[in-house]
């Protein structure tokens, strides 16, 4: 069982701010025919208007996998039974970390906007991801994440 929410900013030694007192995690859900599940971020959010992964702050004691799947459920209606985790990628700054949890959709499902943090959520064909205005963190990690999407 996870503890208190991690919904708060963490400030690094250089003054940059990152969301999630206990780190953050996002779900890179992939379906071989439909592409990757992407979230168009609400304008009021950090890097609003960009596309990224459903995700957010981890709770105290919560694993990255549990946090990513919980957040994807809260933001895009993803159920744990919809996906099978196939890997992860860790971005660790020492004082804060972000884990991208890579999962294959085990069945077709229709994501939906489940909270006000999204303008829309939808499957994007892999070849079209680079054409979107991407969240800077996701844009930087996408080239190393893309090869993890496999049967």
Task: Residue 103: give its domain's CATH number.
Answer: 3.90.79.10
> Is 116 within the bounds of a domain?
yes
* Strand-pair category, 35-41 with 24-31: antiparallel
Structurally, how many domains does the chain consist of?
1
Section 116-141 average pLDDT: 96
Q: Determine the Cα–Cα distance for residues 99 and 101; give it in Å rounded to an integer.
A: 6
Is residue 3 domain-resident?
Answer: no
In this prediction, residue 1 carries a pLDDT of 46
Residue 112 lies in a domain: yes
Only one residue has tokens 């229709």, namely: 110
Question: Where in the sequence is the domain holding 77, given as residue range(s)?
Answer: 9-148
Whether the pLDDT of residue 96 is over 50: the answer is yes
Reported pTM: 0.93
Domain presence at residue 2? no
């Amino acid at each position: 069982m996870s503890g208190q929410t991690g919904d708060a900013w963490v400030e690094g030694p250089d003054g940059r701010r990152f969301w999630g007192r206990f780190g953050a995690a996002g779900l890179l859900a992939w379906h071989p025919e439909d592409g990757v599940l992407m979230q168009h971020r609400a304008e009021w959010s950090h890097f609003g208007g960009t596309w990224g992964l459903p995700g957010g702050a981890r709770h105290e004691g919560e694993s990255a996998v549990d946090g990513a799947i919980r957040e994807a459920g809260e933001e895009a209606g993803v159920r744990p039974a919809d996906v099978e985790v196939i890997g992860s990628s860790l971005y660790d700054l020492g004082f804060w970390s972000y884990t991208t949890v890579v999962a294959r959709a085990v069945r077709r499902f229709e994501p939906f906007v489940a909270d006000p943090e999204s303008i829309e959520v939808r499957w994007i064909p892999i070849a079209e991801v680079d054409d979107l205005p991407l969240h800077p963190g996701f844009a930087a990690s996408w080239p190393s994440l893309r090869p993890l999407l496999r049967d």
